[in-house]
Chain A
Amino acid sequence: MIPQQFEYSAPKTLDEALGLLAEGAKPLAGGMSLIPMMKLRLASPEHLVDLGRIKDLNYIREEGGAIHIGATATHQDVLSSPLLRGKCPLLAETAAHIGDVQVRNMGTIGGSVAHADPSADYPAALQALEAKIVLKGAKSERTVSAEDFFVDTFTTALEPGEIVREVIVPIDGDGTGTNYQKVLQPASGFAIVGVAVRVRKQGEKVTLARIGVTGLSNRAFRAKEAEKALEGRSGSPAEIQAVAALVGQGIDANSDLHASAEYRLHLTAVYAAKALATALGRIA
């Protein structure tokens, strides 16, 4: 890697880091997205603040009926966390789809959401989970919904000087089923399309349906029409097909060498159906 020259700090406390960031430094987490860009000189930050030494950012814990995940929890931490596997399996399942072992050992949830790659995996799950993202600056702290956080390609609600401090995901009780389905872009391993589904049933009726989609367009989004079409129904195979067909409806789909817009939309329906069927089948 032959980047331009840069300064590097590795503070041990969050306050110290936020102070440096307020002066215009850029956070470095796992480096799995930032370093490749620096290597190609597409990004040339003058000062990097490594968040890796800040103990206060690395945790996964239950608090107030939800699970809080510190920004520097790695994808490996997430996929192997007994807490998440037990109480929010969708996030752990999604983490297992990210990259390869090396990437999962280095990459962090904070870095992934802050980077907001339109083909990243977490955003689909975070949409389906209606996750909250806590943003912290030197003098502020605020909480935004996943829906408001992901604004556009590589663009989020983060303001200069702010970092993602933690991600909060809900604990769903019995009666909920989830699944993440991903079509791999064969070269990069990112999602051509990824669909995360979270469904709850009472008796024979679907009482809650949340569908998060990544890879299809400029940002991860919730397929609300499809969600509505499922709620109140039983989730029969025919209904699943009909709901799946709504997931990509009206979306201005991405088109590239690996999948045209038409094919992406088709895959969205196919994999949404798989995710829906699997999630419904998993309801305990």
Chain B
Amino acid sequence: MATTTITKTEKLVGKRIRRREDPRLITGTATYVDDIKMPGMLYAAILRSPHAAAKIRSIDISKAKALKGVHAVFVGEDTKNAGAVPCGASLPGLRVPHHNLLAIDRVYLVGHPVAVVVATDRYVARDGAELIEVDYEPEAAVADPEKALAPGAHAVHPQWADNVAFTFHQEGGDVAKAFAEADVIVKQRIVSQRLIPNSMETRGVVADWHAADRSMNLFTSTQAPHLVRSLVAQILGLEENRFRVVAPEVGGGFGAKIQTYAEEILLAWISMKLQKPVKWIESRRENFLCTIHGRGHVDFYEIAAKRDGTITGIKLKIIQDLGAYFTVLTPAIPTLSVLMMPGLYRTPNIQADIVGAFTNCTPTDAYRGAGRPEATHGIERMVDMVAAELKMDPAEIRLKNFVRNEEFPFPTATGLVYDSGDYSAPLKKAMEMAGYDQLRKEQVEARKQGKLMGIGLCAYGEICAFGPSPATPAGGWESATVKIEPSGQVTVLTGISPHGQGEETTFAQITGDELGVGIDDVLVLHGDTSLVPYGIGTFGSRSTAVGGTALYYALQDLKAKVKKFGAMLLESEDVTLANGQCTDNKTGKSVGFKEIAAAAYRAMKLPPNTEPGLLATHFWEPPNFTFPFGAHLVVTDVDRDTGNVSIRRYIAIDDCGNILNPLIVDGQVHGGVAQGIGQALWEQAVYDDNGQLVTGEFMDYTMPRAHMMPWIESGHTVTPTPVNPLGVKGVGEAGTIGASPAVVNSVVDALSPLGVKHLDMPLTPEKLWKLISAGSNA
């Protein structure tokens, strides 16, 4: 039972408070989309293309329609005018394919939706889908971005023969000069392979149309309910105020639920057509094929440096595997890589080019880190390679090139302004925790015995708190409403849409401290567009830095009002609000929060120019992004006989600004590190030449499991940001961003006695064993 304290004196922010959302999650009582049942609800099953590229000659739905229990079957011709999957990103000259809800005359990826069967239950719906006969004329496909750009490649979209969706160029400083005057130039092709996000809960939608009042209820597993509402309402020509989107419990997203998907539009359309509620739950197989993928970069780096290790210039060409069509952010993701390409280094001269390539594959979009892991992986690999070339210690070259403390706010060559930092602090702390010098000595001894021991560093920076509105496709502000109920209990409505990040806890901590009430007196609500004011959603490590700040300011407004009522009750003009009570600064007399709340609603008397009730709303526009940073240090041992990598030590030092709840921050770092190690060692979306996803299920796609994880030694340095009054930067993606380069650098270091300079992920045992066995024969 909740303990109703209403007032308290203990500070909540900064404490390891357990997540208040967990009891319902771990007792299985949370309500996900698939838990929603409605009277008369129908179920949809989607028939999807088995081919990566094919013309559709004909579709015969007669058998499916005749099946008992089938209410309707729709094909592309039916939904042709219902709209297309929206892309929110805009770039000059961008070619945007029109992705119909259901394929019309051709399919361009495995999993392309072709028809939808609506039936009394999901079994009949699936049976019906199997009865549909589609006559395909398969064509050659292209599933690799470099091959897609080669002359003569199959055109994913016949109207664009070169498969180029866009090119993008950016420059800062004088790159030509930097390269002309360089002592060393190091070049490397670096791949950040395609990954599959795999949240625990797949996607799912329930659409429920009420014709009589022209209202739609759409329950969907999303990170951005308001965005879904705006887009789907607009696409279907519905009234936004009568369109309610609810993100109930959402079992993870990792960026793959920011998008507005075909199924959200399709289900709403079907519900209107059939005048019934309709449910669709994505199968795991569909999730692999039809929810966005992440990464998918082939990068070509060139670094110019001076003999003393000063990095003077970076050139980067990115080939981005976009997939066959766009979801909401697809083409924008690699531009984030460009923004972060200098990493934490002062380098004033950069040049970047992106080529966005269409392939007959699932679209790529934001996956935990979205563009920054690729950038960090690239620069952190390259810095190691420059150090190796110059025979410098990898720590030394980093310390030499870091932006210096006195240089903040620091304008980067890519046009950002880094907010605050002490970039050497986490690296030094990690090295101290690891006993770096001792480890290097140990490594010398190990190498004498022929052992392959590696020490890898990564100093990462990231761009968080998305973000100033002009820099985002759909606004970057956030909203919060705080209500003090007549009982004195507090309700927070936030525009963010947490799905595992723990803001029901951290926002209650902020609120508790500001108002002086206990954490159990605060309820944080989110994810229902009919309940909370318009908000942008949860992604890009923005929720606390932007949404928490909106809350902070709403709380300031509300506190002012509480004080007015307090002053009225105390008949004073000079009061302080602290510890859940208002105190007269002269007499020392005080009145409690509960009494103030009751008085504000009872309204027997009101302070001058003051309305009854206690409610405040604030929309906050951030003036800048925030830039968290940190350092990871990884010690690995590579087994010569098998190529197996074992991680002996994993040290993660994060600086995410002020820490509201260390338990939650650790959890975010640990989960992020697991995903980064996953990319470094195991995960990969593999397509064959026909565009079939070979790793299309958990039997082949290696999701890291608990037993594969090392012990993570985490620590922090704290450099508050001046961008927001909470001083928080964001921590949702940091672990992922830091982990993959740290692990790869460690393994490359282990194999460096064999002449290995670079390795592309994932570092599978076989890949390493081949190098080791070739090296030992050589």
List residues of A whose CB falls within 8 A of some B CB.
Answer: 2-5, 40-41, 183, 186-188, 257-260, 263, 266-267, 270
Contacts and interface: CB of A to CB of B under 8 A. Distances in A.
9 contacts: A2-B126, A3-B123, A4-B127, A186-B708, A187-B699, A257-B686, A257-B694, A266-B769, A270-B641
A188 B699 contact: yes
A188 B700 CA distance: 6
Query: Which of B285, B703, B769 counts the most A-chain CB atoms under 10 A from its CB?
Result: B769
B701 interface: yes
A205 B764 CA distance: 40
Interface in B114-153: 122-123, 126-127, 130
A187 B642 contact: no
Interface in B599-653: 641-642
Contacts of B764: 258
Contacts of A40: 285
Which of A183, A186, A257: most chain B CB closer than 10 A? A186
Interface string B708-743: 100000000000000000000000000000000000
A260 B773 CA distance: 15
B682 interface: yes
Contacts of A257: 686, 694-695, 700
Nearest to A263: B766
Contacts of A266: 769, 773
Nearest to B283: A2
B642 A188 contact: no
Contacts of B686: 257
Nearest to A4: B127
Nearest to B43: A2
Contacts of A2: 45, 122-123, 126, 283
A266 B772 CA distance: 13
Contacts of B699: 187-188
Contact of A187 (B45, B130, B641, B703): B703
A260 B766 CA distance: 8
Contacts, number: 46
A194 to B, nearest CB: 14
A40 B695 CA distance: 15
B160 interface: no
Contacts of B123: 2-5
A259 B122 contact: no
Given A41-B126, A187-B700, 16 more contacts: A2-B123, A4-B123, A5-B127, A41-B130, A186-B708, A187-B695, A188-B699, A257-B694, A257-B695, A258-B764, A258-B766, A259-B766, A263-B765, A263-B766, A263-B770, A266-B773
Interface of B: 45, 122-123, 126-127, 130, 283, 285, 641-642, 682, 686, 694-695, 698-703, 708, 764-766, 769-770, 773
B663 to A, nearest CB: 27
A149 to B, nearest CB: 25
In the A-B complex, the 6 residue pairs with the smallest Cβ-Cβ separation, listed nearest first, are: A187-B702, A188-B699, A186-B702, A263-B766, A2-B126, A270-B641
Given A2-B122, A4-B127, A270-B642, A263 B769 contact: yes
Contacts of A4: 123, 127
A41 B123 CA distance: 12
B251 to A, nearest CB: 18
A186 B769 contact: no
Contacts of A260: 766
Nearest to B284: A39
A48 to B, nearest CB: 15
Contacts of A267: 642
Contacts of A5: 123, 127
Nearest to B770: A263
Nearest to B698: A187
A266 B639 CA distance: 14
- Between B694, B700, B773, the greatest number of chain A beta carbons within 10 A of the residue's beta carbon is seen for B700
Contacts of B641: 270
Contacts of B708: 186
A65 to B, nearest CB: 38
Nearest to B125: A2
Nearest to B682: A186
Nearest to B704: A186
Contacts of A258: 700, 764, 766
Contacts of A3: 123
Nearest to B701: A187
Contacts of A263: 765-766, 769-770
A4 B686 CA distance: 30
Contacts of B285: 40
Given A41-B130, A259-B766, A266-B769, A188 B682 contact: no
A267 B708 CA distance: 20
A204 B314 CA distance: 67
A267 B768 CA distance: 13
A36 to B, nearest CB: 9
A22 B541 CA distance: 61
Nearest to B688: A257
Contacts of B126: 2, 41
A2 B125 CA distance: 10
Nearest to B126: A2
A263 B643 CA distance: 10
A186 B703 CA distance: 8
A266 B769 CA distance: 10
A263 B772 CA distance: 12
A270 B127 CA distance: 48
Nearest to A183: B642
B231 to A, nearest CB: 29
A85 B256 CA distance: 47
A266 B285 CA distance: 33
A281 B314 CA distance: 57
Nearest to A260: B766
B500 to A, nearest CB: 23
A188 B769 contact: no
A253 B770 CA distance: 17
Contacts of B766: 258-260, 263
A183 B283 CA distance: 30
A144 B773 CA distance: 42
A260 B765 CA distance: 11
Nearest to A273: B641
Nearest to B285: A40
B698 A188 contact: yes
Contacts of A186: 682, 702, 708
A12 B695 CA distance: 41
Contacts of A270: 641-642
Contacts of B702: 186-187
A83 B764 CA distance: 40
A187 B684 CA distance: 11
A272 to B, nearest CB: 12
A258 B123 CA distance: 34
A4 B695 CA distance: 25
A186 B123 CA distance: 32
Contacts of B682: 186-187
Nearest to B644: A183
A183 B695 CA distance: 20
B550 to A, nearest CB: 42
A187 B682 CA distance: 8
A181 to B, nearest CB: 11
A4 B701 CA distance: 26
A257 B687 CA distance: 11
Contacts of A41: 126, 130
Most chain A beta-carbon contacts within 10 A, residue among B45, B698, B699, B766 = B766
A4 B129 CA distance: 12
A41 B130 CA distance: 10
Contacts of B694: 257
A263 B695 CA distance: 20
A260 B769 CA distance: 12
B747 to A, nearest CB: 16
B292 to A, nearest CB: 21
Nearest to A187: B702
Nearest to B700: A187
B302 to A, nearest CB: 32
